[in-house]
Amino acid sequence: MSPGGISITGKWNVDSVTTYFYNATGLLDSSEVSYPLSIPGIYYPLYFKFNDDYSWSEALIVRVDTSIVSKGTYSYTSDSTFDLVYPDAVPAKKDEPCKIISLTNSVFTFSKTFATVFNGTDSGYIKHVFKLLK
């Protein structure tokens, strides 16, 4: 069941991806806009497509070709969370918890968090915040 009666189903164009870096003491660095690329003249449209059958894909359009970056299934885990499942990922990723930050009929913002180690010893995590537009 979709959260709050608004569905994530449909094609959502990525407007921006902001990346945050955290260690045990908190935010390491100010946010970094990692999409769109900050290379003049280079822009590759990226989008997510969430289908009614709970399948999803993430695709990148390079010139006139569309390349599927990731795909799998998704499921709602609460009114504010959902999981992306990557059955074909190598190495295998069972699922990726995501947090819905905001969702309207035209704007969908969610985050994904990844565990990491900085400088080989300092454990922390990286959070990507995706802002999508319909």
The per-residue pLDDT for range 57-107, each reduced to its tens digit, is: 998 887 666 787 889 999 999 889 999 998 876 666 678 899 999 999 999
d(CA 33, CA 74): 26
Q: Which two tokens stand for residue 27?
A: 């935010």
Rounded to the nearest angstrom, the gap between the alpha carbon of residue 72 and the centroid of all alpha carbons in its chain is 13
SS3 readout for 46-62: EEEEECCCCEEEEEEEE
**What is the three-class DSSP state of 8?**
coil
Residues whose CB is less than 8 angstroms from the CB of residue 14 and which lie 6 or more positions away in sequence, other chains included: 35, 45, 46, 47, 48, 130, 131, 132
Opening angle at CA 32, ends 86 and 15, nearest 5:
60
Domains (range + CATH), the chain? 8-133 (2.40.128.490)
pLDDT band at 130 (very low <50, low <70, confident <90, very high): very high
- What pTM did the predictor assign? 0.84
Residue/partner pairs of 22-26 with CB below 8 Å, 24 or more apart: 22/124, 22/125, 22/126, 22/127, 23/118, 23/122, 23/123, 23/124, 24/122, 24/123, 24/124
CB atoms within 10 A of CB 108: 23
The per-residue pLDDT for range 29-71, each reduced to its tens digit, is: 666 777 776 556 656 688 999 999 999 999 888 766 678 788 9
d(CA 100, CA 40): 31
